[in-house]
Amino acid sequence: AQSVAQPEDQVNVAEGNPLTVKCTYSVSGNPYLFWYVQYPNRGLQFLLKYITGDNLVKGSYGFEAEFNKSQTSFHLKKPSALVSDSALYFCAVRFTGRRALTFGSGTRLQVQP
Amino acid sequence: DAGVTQSPTHLIKTRGQQVTLRCSPKSGHDTVSWYQQALGQGPQFIFQYYEEEERQRGNFPDRFSGHQFPNYSSELNVNALLLGDSALYLCASSLGDRDFNEKLFFGSGTQLSVL
């Protein structure tokens, strides 16, 4: 079955330290992968996407993600976390031929001052 | 440039009632998708509208229906409300239905509580 998983409910990191939010997927064919962020009482905001090409994708607010086909992963990263990065992060995948995005369960990122 | 707007922001209904949620897409967008986000979960796709037609539907019962108007705005209707329908309902807009890589712009959602 095609699916996307975020294995961590919460990630805690100190301000200034690098952060990683994990995402793995299970799909046949080539997926289109996305990261969205949700701040309290707000809708989701697009961060970045991987369609094809370079495995390292750069996005908004200094975030980047690395596509790893052999490990079927698409982890979100940032070299230096900010307190303002604290939010709920969703990995999403669009499967071939489907219009819908399938979202993971979300990972809450807490950046401590 | 207005983004995606949804109304109302909050709604309280009782079981068995019917509800209508509204969405205006971002200026220049013609495709509207609806998602349901239950507490502590990721959004789940309900359906997508383009050219006033439902183009794809997720795993939701027929109690969930929608409509898209000529000005691209959209409504989500839910009949015979159940307690389990309590969730944040998100509307997302995009341009065209052919570029599946197009990023979605989301509204802030309508928080529906069913008592």
pLDDT single digits (tens) B35-57: 999 998 999 999 999 999 999 99
- Return the pLDDT at B98: 62
Distance (Å) from the C-alpha of residue A86 to the closest C-alpha of chain B?
A: 16
User: How far apart, in Å, are the Cα atoms of B78 and each of A46, A75, A108, B75, B114?
Assistant: 27, 36, 30, 10, 11
With a CB cutoff of 8 Å and minimum separation 6, the contacts of B98 are none
Say if the Cβ atoms of A90 and B90 lie within 8 Å.
Answer: no
- Span A37-95, pLDDT tens digits: 999 877 899 999 998 888 899 999 999 999 998 999 999 999 999 999 999 999 999 88
- The answer, yes or no, to whether residue B101 has pLDDT greater than 70, is no
Chain B interface includes A99 (CB < 8 A): yes
**Half-sphere exposure (Cβ direction) of B43: Cα atoms closer than 13 Å:** 34
* C-alpha–C-alpha distance, residues B67 and B80, integer Å: 18
- Return the pLDDT at A11: 98
- Return the pLDDT at B103: 83
Say if the Cβ atoms of B108 and A43 lie within 8 Å.
Answer: yes
- The answer, yes or no, to whether residue B75 has pLDDT greater than 80, is yes
- Return the pLDDT at B99: 60
| pLDDT band (50, 70, 90) for residue B111 | very high
Q: Residues of B near A (CB-CB distance < 8 A)?
A: 4, 33, 35, 40-45, 48, 55-56, 58, 90, 92, 97, 100-101, 103-109
- The answer, yes or no, to whether residue B1 has pLDDT greater than 80, is no
* C-alpha–C-alpha distance, residues A24 and A93, integer Å: 10
Say if the Cβ atoms of B103 and A46 lie within 8 Å.
Answer: yes
- Span B4-28, pLDDT tens digits: 999 999 999 999 999 999 999 999 8
Distance (Å) from the C-alpha of residue B22 to the closest C-alpha of chain A?
A: 15
Residue of A nearest to B58 (CA): A100
Say if the Cβ atoms of A32 and B109 lie within 8 Å.
Answer: no
A92-112 residues labelled b (16+ CB within 10 A) or e (exposed):
bbbbeeebbbbbbebbbbebe
User: How far apart, in Å, are the Cα atoms of A22 and each of A50, A89, A91, B11?
Assistant: 15, 10, 9, 34
